[in-house]
Amino acid sequence: MKKRILSLLLLCAMLSACGEAAVTDDTTTAADTTEPAETELRPTLPDKTFDGRTFTVYTRDSANHNGAFTTETETGDVLNDAIFRRMQTVSETLDVTFEEVKKTGDGEGNGAKDAILSGDDAYQLLIIFSRSAIPMAGEELLMDWNDLPYVDFDQPWWVGANPKSLAVGNKIFVSIDNLTHDALGAPAGMIFNKDLFDQYNLTYPYQMVKDGKWTMDRMIELATQLSADLNGDSELKLTDDQFGVAATEWTCPQNVFVTTGQTIATVNADGLLELTLNTPRTVEMYEKYFTFAESDCYSITKGDVTDMNNAVRAGRVGFAEMSVYAISNLRDIDTEFGIIPQPKYDESVEGYRVNVGGHCNFLAVPKTVTDPEFVSAVIESICFENQKTVIPAFRERVLEGKVVRDEESMEMLDIIFESRVYDPGHLILPCFPGGGEFADIGNKLVYRPDHNFSSYYAANEKKVQSAVDKINETFA
């Protein structure tokens, strides 16, 4: 069973324990029996430093997806100072300096691409839009992370960010951004309105989550009770009335598929990508979901989310699904709310499954890198220090006290963070012609009047299979 991320962070921070003094019949003293402190779990790195060499990072400059790789100085801000200390520690340990290059409006990394095409070892690491990194790999511009000797994705500081599910052809050309705090903002979560739960004498769903009983059926039951025609006009509208659930076209409809325990596509035992979307379980789930979504207790927002945000802030929504990043922007909301993961489809699903959308950042190493030992040592060191300093600071500054209102929500966030799913069908497929028809399946079905999965799948299977074949041809 997975340990909570908080426990892993503490483990990485210090694995030291002293035994209690023991008293025996032969009067052995406490000092004689005190157990020695255990060695701190640390990365395996080369026994060398790098003489002040510069490590240059090309980062995505986006208001919503900038995890702040470096900061210039300490300012007293908890998160800023943690980032500064992280980089300072790595700099002193390995004797390296850092340069961060941000290109406004270039989340796709085109500036870095130009340098790679010219053969210039200008950048040792790219932090860019996920669906831009994949095409760069397809153009043979990126290094396989299997060739980076000191990166170990099985270590706890990579928890929740292991990219092996994306390794078509057993090659890892991209990794999850676990060097900044952006990766913690990307996964989908849910908030529930405590005030409404109290008003309707409903039990908060925390214990259901812990017991593994937080399912779609339970959410439907609760959402039905929480909906109300507040103005009495017999027509429920998000601008005036109260809804059990509010979501956007890109949240619940997309994320609900992952909660079935499936992925759109899977890398099989032979290292090949294969479609795994079309199953009886998928058909059943979407029939249930869209029946629910078409009811008066559910609102799906298409496009502008202003009305949804206003309804949430006004306390007229029972459940709202949004990314952790979006939740972090609710620090000034008056409504009391709790945080929970999206419900699993049914109790047969082990744990909870949290989709990470295609808007997230990926890490990539240019093929022009001339010293993989140097690059991998720096990356592993930053990731290790990030879990010790920046991630706890992110929780403290952005979530604890300012957004999270109770200890149970912090426990729920740990579940969300450790349950992240990186679906190759969602993240790789749309980067190849035709693949997007299934990559964003939930969004596509929202816009079909009948919301019928089976007919949509049949109409697009050939096109998407061509994309899968091209992916396997490219990477495997």
Task: For the chain, list the domains and their CATH numbers.
Answer: 53-185+358-399 (3.40.190.10), 188-355+421-475 (3.40.190.10)
What are the E-state strand segments in 178-241?
188-193
Tell me the average pLDDT across 330-347. 93
- Which pLDDT belongs to residue 63? 53
How many whole angstroms separate alpha carbon 264 and alpha carbon 107?
25
**Which whole-number Å values give the CA distances from 200 to 192, 226, 232, 461, in the listed order?**
13, 8, 19, 46
Q: Does the pLDDT value for residue 397 go beyond 90?
A: no
Residue-wise pLDDT tens digits, 198-207: 999 999 999 9
| Average pLDDT value for the chain | 88
Q: Does the pLDDT value for residue 447 go beyond 60?
A: yes
- Which pLDDT belongs to residue 400? 66
Q: Which residue carries 């008066």 as its tokens? A: 296
Query: Of all residues in the chain, what percent carry a pLDDT higher than 70?
Result: 88
Q: Which residue carries 């004498």 as its tokens? A: 201
Tell me the average pLDDT across 361-372. 96
How many whole angstroms separate alpha carbon 132 and alpha carbon 427?
10
How many whole angstroms separate alpha carbon 150 and alpha carbon 375?
9
Spatial CA neighbour of 141 closest among 119, 163, 171: 119
Spatial CA neighbour of 344 closest among 335, 336, 354: 354
Spatial CA neighbour of 219 closest among 238, 206, 205: 205
- Which pLDDT belongs to residue 3? 42
Neighbours of 53 (CB within 10 A): 14
Q: Is 349 helix (H, G, I), strand (E, B) or coil?
A: coil
- Which pLDDT belongs to residue 276? 98
- Which pLDDT belongs to residue 99? 95
Query: Of all residues in the chain, what percent carry a pLDDT higher than 90?
Result: 67
Tokens (6 digits) for 196:
């409404």
CA atoms within 13 A on the CB side of 270: 5
Spatial CA neighbour of 206 closest among 343, 333, 298: 343
How many whole angstroms separate alpha carbon 415 and alpha carbon 430?
28
Side by side, the strands of the sheet bearing 53-61 are 96-104, 53-61, 125-129, 361-364, 175-176
- Which pLDDT belongs to residue 398? 60
How many whole angstroms separate alpha carbon 258 and alpha carbon 256?
5
- What 436-441 contacts at long range (C-beta under 8 Å, 24+ apart), as own/partner pairs, is 437/463, 437/464, 438/264, 438/265, 438/275, 438/277, 438/464, 439/264, 439/358, 440/250, 440/254, 440/358, 441/254, 441/257, 441/264, 441/277
Tokens (6 digits) for 300:
């799906």
- Which pLDDT belongs to residue 107? 62
Apex CA 424: angle with CA 422 and CA 427, to 5°?
80
Residue-wise pLDDT tens digits, 66-82: 556 888 889 988 888 99
- Who contacts 117 (Cβ-Cβ below 8 Å, separation ≥6)? 141
- Burial group, residue 114, by CB count within 10 angstroms (0-12, 13-18, 19+): exposed
- Which pLDDT belongs to residue 238? 95
| Cα torsion 385, 177, 117, 370: sign | positive
Neighbours of 451 (CB within 10 A): 20
**Which whole-number Å values give the CA distances from 82 to 15, 127, 391, in the listed order?**
21, 19, 9
125 DSSP assignment: E
- Who contacts 321 (Cβ-Cβ below 8 Å, separation ≥6)? 188, 189, 190, 245, 246, 247, 248, 251, 252, 255, 342
Spatial CA neighbour of 122 closest among 390, 383, 369, 414: 369
For residue 13, name the pLDDT band (cuts at 50, 70, 90).
very low
CA atoms within 13 A on the CB side of 167: 16
- Which pLDDT belongs to residue 326? 86
Tokens (6 digits) for 453:
């999965």
CA 360 to chain centre: 7
Tell me the average pLDDT across 90-101. 96
For residue 111, name the pLDDT band (cuts at 50, 70, 90).
confident
- Which pLDDT belongs to residue 4? 43
Q: Does the pLDDT value for residue 324 go beyond 60?
A: yes
- Which pLDDT belongs to residue 36? 46
Tell me the average pLDDT across 216-241. 96
